[in-house]
Structure 1
């Protein structure tokens, strides 16, 4: 399902215009993004799942073409753990 299809479904089920559904959907996504700004922060949507911002440490990797060792910098990544009611 695409973002446009999801917005269309929200508009149809809530009986609101698509423009209003788009604003609501974008606002929800923006809230999730802002909630994940800090390291080790998390956003829990009960019945859906938990988004968590975690830090991956710097590690050594290998270039698959040359076999040369490379350093992979540490960075923040977002993980998602589905809720138990999510299929």
Structure 2
């Protein structure tokens, strides 16, 4: 499902104009991004947590040149779904995957 499809579905279910829904969804994502850039985690009860994870410095290998490079410590965004959300997905009605 694309963002446009999500916005259309929310607008249909709530009766709110698509433009207003789009502004709200964009604002939600902007708050999440801004908070995570500052290093804050965002918790949405019943849905999950948007967390900033620290990756330690590590040594990697460039196998074509047979050299070692150091990847510095850095932070990455991550999403951890809530237990309730995981259970609902596990027991949900899913479409069969097509190959």
Q: For 1:8, what is the secondary structure of its paired residue?
A: helix
Q: CA RMSD in A?
A: 1.4
Which structure has the larger Rg?
2
Alignment match, 1:36: 36
- Structure scoring higher RCO (CA < 8 A, sep ≥ 6) equals 1
1:69 CA drift (Å): 1.4
Q: Structure 1 residues 64 and 45, CA, compared in 2 at 3 Å: closer, same or farther?
A: farther
The CA deviation at 1:64 is 4.1
Name structure 1 gaps, 5 residues minimum: none
CA separation in 2, counterparts of 1:46 and 1:64?
44
Aligned length: 86
Higher helix share: 2
Q: Which runs of 4+ in 1 moved over 4 A?
A: none
Deviates more, 1:66-75 or 1:48-57: 66-75
TM-score by length of 1: 0.86
> Could you tell me how far apart the structure 2 residues matched to 1:8 and 1:72 are?
42
Aligned residue for 2:7? 7
For 2:26, the equivalent position in structure 1 comes to: 26
TM-score by length of 2: 0.77
5+ long unaligned stretches in structure 2: 90-99
SS in 1 for 2:84: coil
